[in-house]
Structure 1
């Protein structure tokens, strides 16, 4: 990828009627990421049904909340809950059944769920879960803005910080970046990493002179160098960075493997109870 491209989030529903905006791709355009969902509503009926028990195999999920609360349960016995500013990370690996349900005391919900692909050698690894409370996620300030570091190491305007999670997938990161109006933030990337920026508030200008607004995922060239983001107005961005896996992607609803045959096996394993029950 040598040019800046964009994707626009599309309104849809998932779980028990939860209204979301979604960007996904089965052709590797987002590699190593698979999907970005934004959940945002102050209307309880839009989200209170949550995501009842359902299976996954072959990837990781990370749910990050700006506002609201979610509780997690899964077939491996993991349980947890987070509120505003918190995150829930799960490696589905060889297969797990889980649920994510909004807490009834949350007044509105605004957050994101991101799917992170796993390489073939990790797709059948053991399921794992960890939740991060808001206070567990490091925050850093620098000239022109601030960031909450969810996973991996980040460098903004010469300042370096480490996320709450060492990494995602097989080497990927996530950060919640805020840029002051009129300011520029320089993001330094490791060699071979590609940066993607989902804009959830304000407007941002990229190096090609184009401005991008709310609900846009900007896919920047793979440079392993420095990427400049200019805030036309005060902006909030969910940053995703990682080294593309470059492996075949086979989608089968809640399963992501490398071949159609592996998807069919995942379906059989789920139907036979091999992924557990909840």
Structure 2
């Protein structure tokens, strides 16, 4: 088996989109561009409740899916299809916008203190095939306890949460994304650790995002091809290899997200909160929204 190497690293940039009252850090869809079928990756990490209390007011989507994964804090979801859920720490939400949905995402205070503390989470945009873009919207909330957790080698130095795909024979919590066949892992390594992760297919596009700490990524046997990546940075891998090697130093720990998926290989036109295959379809999405029929 051959280990992939990283050919691009970025720490993204801060954006404030639409009516948002706070900034998020964007990597995919920003300086890195698209990584089919991955469109955008935004990190929310805000400590001041006054800044983020209004969250993301109602806004429309069409033609793609959103995956929201929380590390700290909670987000309340409501949409025009009657769906309602709260994404709590360690849990996730998967929403297929399909032909159209209008939803809001608002930080929710802690039930005990009644206050909003640190808000830290990620939202990933996933493309849909042209044949699925005008399909019915769907909503799925997966609690933290539903996500399998594995400790490697009977120790507590390597922890893997299997969100989608398979790892060590364990199937992840998300089972509905057959078209892109994703692998999505949340991995924590203590200092002086090593791990090799098999990928589902050598042609799948693959990246990592470091949540905190830092680690080295690249083949153990070739130090010249190893690259160190630290927190809030994304690393894009080449497509030559079927595994990923990761190591930490004697002083560093790391937590990172690993994502790999089958590319759709169709034209992508992204404007605002709509993702279609042509500009004409984007224009129609805006017209439908203005006429109040986007989510009908």
Deviates more, 1:261-270 or 1:42-51: 42-51
Please show how residues 19-98 of structure 1 align to structure 2 within 5 Å: 19-25=23-29, 29-98=34-103
The aligned counterpart of 1:5 is: 8
Task: Give 3-state SS (helix, strand or coil) of 2:27's partner.
Answer: strand
Report how far residue 59 of structure 1 moved.
Answer: 0.6
Counterpart for residue 222 of structure 2 = none
- Structure 1 pair 182–230 and aligned structure 2 pair: CA distance change class (3 A): same
Residue ranges of structure 1 left out of the alignment (5+ in a row)? none
CA offset at residue 77 of structure 1?
Answer: 1.1
Residues of 1 paired with 2:240 and 2:81: CA distance?
A: 39
Cα distance in 1 for residues equivalent to 2:207 and 2:63: 22
Are positions 1:237 and 2:248 aligned together? Answer: no
What's the CA shift for 1:243? 1.1
Q: In the aligned structure 2, how far is the partner of 1:149 from the partner of 1:188? A: 13
Which of 149, 165, 189 lines up with 1:152 in the alignment?
165
How far residue 45 of structure 1 moved from its aligned partner, in angstroms, is 2.1
Give 1 or 2: higher strand fraction.
1
Structure-2 change in CA distance of 1:181 and 1:46 (3 Å):
farther
2:188 to 153, 173, 178: 178
Q: Is the 8 A contact 2:214 2:229 kept in 1?
A: yes
Cα distance in 1, alignment partners of residues 264 and 5 from structure 2: 17
1: CA distance between counterparts of 2:118 and 2:192?
30
Cα displacement (A) at 1:224:
5.7
- Whether 1:216 and 2:225 are equivalent positions in the alignment is no
Counterparts of 2:173 and 2:145, CA distance in 1? 10
Match of 1:193 among 197, 204, 215: 204
| 1:113 corresponds to 2:123 | yes
Contact 1:190 1:224 in 2 (8 A): no
Q: Deviations over 1:187-221 (max 9, x none)?
A: 11112223210011111212222211111111112
Q: Is 1:124 aligned with 2:143?
A: no
Deviation at 1:82, TM superposition (A): 2.3
Query: Tell me, what secondary structure is at the counterpart of 2:131?
Result: helix
Secondary structure of the residue aligned to 1:135 is: helix
Q: Quote the residue 2:285 is aligned against.
A: 266
What is the Cα-based RMSD across aligned positions, in Å? Answer: 2.0
Q: Which runs of 5+ in 2 are unaligned?
A: 111-115, 219-224
Q: Tell me which moved more, 15-24 or 262-271.
A: 15-24
